[in-house]
Amino acid sequence: MFFSFINLGCTKNLVDTQFLLGRILERRPDQFFYAVDPFSDEVELVFLNTCGFISSGRQEMFHTMKKLLRKEKKICLLGCAVQYFEKLVKDARLSDAETQEWERLKSHPGLTFLSWSELANFEPSLLEKSLIAGENELFDGNDFQWQENARAYTNSELGFEYLKIAEGCNNHCSFCIIPTIRGRQRSLSLEAVIAEARNLIASGVRELILIAQDSTRYGVDLYGKSQLFELLEGIDALEGDFHYRVLYLYPDLLTKRHLERLTKLKKFIPYFDLPLQHASPKILKAMGRFYDHQMTLELLDFIEGHFPERFVRTNFIIGFPGETEEDFQALMDFIRGDWFENIALFEYHDEPLAASSLLPDKVEAKTIRKRFLEAKKLVDELQAQRSQHAAKEKTGTISELRSDAQGNWRLMVRPFLHCPEIDEEDEIQIEQVMQCFDGEELTLGSRIAYRLP
């Protein structure tokens, strides 16, 4: 049987998908044959890993399911959207339209599912289950011990892979339903993460990207306190030609003492992914965030003073319930401070199962849109100014090679500090390459020095 994968949602989903792919190819190489294109005629079965945290993710799942069913594919659903609907479908706050669409699609005979624990113990017989029966195996504690299984490194050609260090979350941000669906935080042991890092490096991966819902609290559930910086020191001590970065760093546990430890690491990429969400103390409190704006300013000032070469990324939610014009202008003033290399902006929308959906003083949609566009204009202006003053000579990794009709090659290059799939890349011509650090041939994943015009 030919099969394929579609991964919707976050990079943590992608890691789960990679472990399932590795499990299948390791255990059933004579029964299952992998095809890259899930819509090709030869493919019979598609594993669809879903996102359930926001409406747009669920709508993307519906669209993808319908497209696959029109091609008469058998679909095996994985991930968060399945739990969102099946575990929480009785909640009166769920959208009637979404619920009806789910009930209609799940009755299709070509649909099955795998729970998280079943990913680690996949056998073909599991594909015979039906969603119609509403089996409880969907909710088996989310104890997917994927680190003990083989993994297919699908990004290794590009020189990087994700390293998941924990699952679930203990925070209770009022706009987020991650703890409801993924459960409380469950960290891998220090030994397990370092062993996986060693495997990645031995496989030729040159950049490790550590991920969790809240990386800063890694290990609290196992060791009673955060062990993130002990983990980073352990990875830093590994032999090999590699670097690593960490995503999802919550600022409340990033102390000056911790940051000073980071300055001593030789392979750490000074990339600070700080999901700050807002600048108004009132809004931060309503969001359930554990830090204040002054603490954030001190943190950013320390990073700027101790990491001359750095990349700071954040995201902000515009129009959270109770946000006044004064609150919004406080956020705009913060953005004008020009602390960040990359800012992602999101318009607030009620999620039926999030606590924030019950908050009073909702901001009108047209006001949210107006504020969002105003903030986006400012962010774009600041980014343009940064680009004008950016260094012209850079190092980076080739992520794509393109040839036009005349046979001229152009390269997409991810600068060293930039994170894959998140930050901007540079488009250059071959003539702009100054040096290739991985031999003479330019290929995907090659590390190069290059000059911008």
Between 403 and 66, name the one with better pLDDT.
66
Q: How far apart are CA 242 and CA 208, in angstroms?
A: 8
Taking the domains of the chain in order of start, what are their residue ranges? 2-138, 146-389, 393-451
> What is the per-residue pLDDT for 128?
73
Residue type, 246: V
> What is the per-residue pLDDT for 91?
60
Angle of helix 325-336 versus helix 365-389 axis, rounded to 10: 10
> What is the per-residue pLDDT for 147?
56
Q: What average pLDDT does the chain have? A: 90
Domain 2-138 has CATH 3.40.50: yes
**Per-residue pLDDT for 142 more than 70?**
no
**Per-residue pLDDT for 52 more than 90?**
no
What is the rounded average pLDDT of the residues 209-238? 97
Whose CA is closest to 99, among 89, 84, 112, 109? 89
Sign of the torsion angle spanned by Cα atoms 178, 184, 185, 189: negative
What's the gap between Cα 429 and its chain centre?
30
> What is the per-residue pLDDT for 149?
67
Residues 6+ apart with CB under 8 A from 405: none
> What is the per-residue pLDDT for 383?
94
> What is the per-residue pLDDT for 284?
96
**Per-residue pLDDT for 238 more than 50?**
yes
**Per-residue pLDDT for 242 more than 90?**
yes
> What is the per-residue pLDDT for 397?
97
Backbone angles phi, psi at 134, to 5 degrees: 65, 45
Sign of the torsion angle spanned by Cα atoms 400, 404, 409, 410: negative
> What is the per-residue pLDDT for 7?
93
**Per-residue pLDDT for 144 more than 60?**
no
> What is the per-residue pLDDT for 90?
59
**Per-residue pLDDT for 386 more than 50?**
yes
Question: β-strand 111-113 against 2-7: which pairing, if any?
Answer: unpaired
Contact 43, 73 (CB under 8 A): yes
Band of pLDDT at residue 139, cut at 50, 70 and 90: very low
Tokens found for residue 110: 């070509």
> What is the per-residue pLDDT for 210?
99
Residues 6+ apart with CB under 8 A from 53: 9, 80, 84, 176, 177, 178, 181, 351
Residue-level length of the chain: 453
Q: Domain 146-389 falls in which CATH fold?
A: pyruvate-formate lyase- activating enzyme (3.80.30)
Which of 248-252, 353-357, 407-411 is the least confident region? Answer: 407-411
Residues 170-213: tens digit of each pLDDT: 999 999 998 888 889 999 999 999 999 999 999 999 999 999 99
Residue type, 201: I
Residue 394: beta bridge partners?
Answer: 450
> What is the per-residue pLDDT for 136?
45
Backbone angles phi, psi at 24, to 5 degrees: -65, -45
**Per-residue pLDDT for 321 more than 60?**
yes
Q: How far apart are CA 321 and CA 301, in angstroms?
A: 29
> What is the per-residue pLDDT for 133?
54
Buried b vs exposed e over 12-33: b needs ≥16 C-beta within 10 Å? Answer: bbbbbbbbbbbbbeebeeeebe
Residues 6+ apart with CB under 8 A from 376: 345
Contact 433, 398 (CB under 8 A): no
**Per-residue pLDDT for 143 more than 60?**
no
**Per-residue pLDDT for 89 more than 90?**
no
Residues 255-303: tens digit of each pLDDT: 999 999 999 999 999 999 999 999 999 999 999 998 888 999 999 999 9
Whose CA is closest to 420, among 400, 401, 399? 399
Distances (CA, A) of 108 to 48, 102, 140: 15, 10, 24
> What is the per-residue pLDDT for 25?
84
